[in-house]
Structure 1
């Protein structure tokens, strides 16, 4: 018997929404595709890398084998924001990725978005954010997905409280997921689940998404440690045409 009962799966809807690892485990098995949204910063970083032609390999956070995995994959390794050097100028920071020379392949560890991406098997995983919401929605609609027969699950990654495994719902991921859902609804996909409808309504009712994200907890956190540029890049709304889809373990631009 599944650990997730039918009432939790948002059945009979074409666009579904939930949070984190538990959400993707609940919705993923009945979905045609999963859209992962981690605005600060995994999926924004993936979009920036995809714009530059880099293939991104998601990987577990703080895994001692990351360097060995990168070598096996003939890829460069992204390090922590504060561990960057001339030899390893790549990190989860979108601003750092934009400044650095774009590698052909990059292993990008992340505690949230990459873990969720890796938890999905057998169906496409798409990395989405505020930068590429419409491009992702165009691509999904073009596949004929997002219907009751071929549902799409949109998963907001969320954050974790310091020194805890407890998930912190993150407003930037809620709004990023809502942007995807809104764009999908505009392309006549659906019906939306109640959860997806609530996300769309919140996005429709916000006048200044950029300001809200700059001033939310995650935005303030990055600014406080000197990475406010990452928040600025994350709020470059609808500037990217990249559609990063996980293919053979690497996010590859499908657009």
Structure 2
């Protein structure tokens, strides 16, 4: 978006929320930090990897350039879920990452979460999910952010429709974003924009595990043989790690 209209920035609010890469590009420049929420599965995968001591480098494309980027960064490269081998035991699957030996550095291609993280320049980016929403909120509030003077942006990633045509607002990311916002408000952050407040209200009133277990994205993963990824994604408040993107890599700054 070349010119951002003032009404789109959610000015005056300490906690703001908008969808996808465009939302991050609109809100990010005016915020102290951006929280990317891609529950199934980028931000959940980042949280699992960082829990194991791995630095995660987001990368938008899974093509020949990803291999070159990994080599230049002295990092291993995650492959597609169905392409995992003994030599390449890492993928976007949180379950696979949990079982595999954790490399010091891992390039994790993703068309959603990685693309959003890579699109935000000059603003700290945090990988948020249901596993670490409480820890992320605490870390933000400890820095005096999520206020009207130092706002933060929460970005549910959404999914792409098959063929890449347009963004599909994904309920799991809406609930994950709501978890972050709800944790922030519990700690006194705010005020929240109507968008952020609505996500928190949805989270507070939801049977999160049951909803995500049967959402479209979860059904897609189960059909592909990755039901365990869904179970890991709903391990509520199980991680105290706060993955923050610094110098191209997510590292735990808890």
User: Normalization by structure 2: what TM-score?
Assistant: 0.98
Match of 2:26 in 1: 26
Match of 2:231 in 1: 232
Do residues 220 (structure 1) and 224 (structure 2) align?
no
Instruction: Structure 1 unaligned segments of length 5 or more: list them.
Output: none
Q: Give 3-state SS (helix, strand or coil) of 2:18's partner.
A: strand
Match of 1:175 in 2: 175
Task: Give per-residue Cα distances to partners, 1:160-204, cap 9 Å, x unaligned.
Answer: 000123100000000000000000000101000011111111111
Match of 2:154 in 1: 154
Q: How does 1:7-86 map to 2 (within 5 A)?
A: 7-86=7-86
Rounded to whole Å, the distance in 2 between the matches of 1:224 and 1:95 is 15
Rounded to whole Å, the distance in 2 between the matches of 1:168 and 1:243 is 27
Match of 1:124 in 2: 124
Rounded to whole Å, the distance in 1 between the matches of 2:71 and 2:24 is 29
Rounded to whole Å, the distance in 1 between the matches of 2:250 and 2:79 is 18
Task: Give per-residue Cα distances to partners, 1:58-108, cap 9 Å, x unaligned.
Answer: 001223211111111111100000000000000000000000000000000
How big is the shift at 1:19? 0.2
How big is the shift at 1:2? 5.2
Cα RMSD after superposing both structures: 1.0
Rounded to whole Å, the distance in 1 between the matches of 2:220 and 2:31 is 34
Rounded to whole Å, the distance in 1 between the matches of 2:218 and 2:146 is 31
User: Normalization by structure 1: what TM-score?
Assistant: 0.98
Rounded to whole Å, the distance in 2 between the matches of 1:106 and 1:165 is 29
Rounded to whole Å, the distance in 1 between the matches of 2:164 and 2:240 is 36
Instruction: Structure 2 unaligned segments of length 5 or more: list them.
Output: none
Rounded to whole Å, the distance in 2 between the matches of 1:209 and 1:251 is 26
Rounded to whole Å, the distance in 1 between the matches of 2:147 and 2:241 is 23
Rounded to whole Å, the distance in 2 between the matches of 1:242 and 1:185 is 20
Match of 1:203 in 2: 203
Moved more, 62-71 or 222-231: 62-71
Moved more, 60-69 or 170-179: 60-69
Match of 2:95 in 1: 95
Rounded to whole Å, the distance in 1 between the matches of 2:42 and 2:247 is 19
Match of 2:140 in 1: 140
How big is the shift at 1:22? 1.1
User: After TM superposition, which residue ranges in structure 1, 4 or more long, deviate above 2 angstroms?
Assistant: none
Rounded to whole Å, the distance in 1 between the matches of 2:253 and 2:209 is 27
How big is the shift at 1:149? 0.5
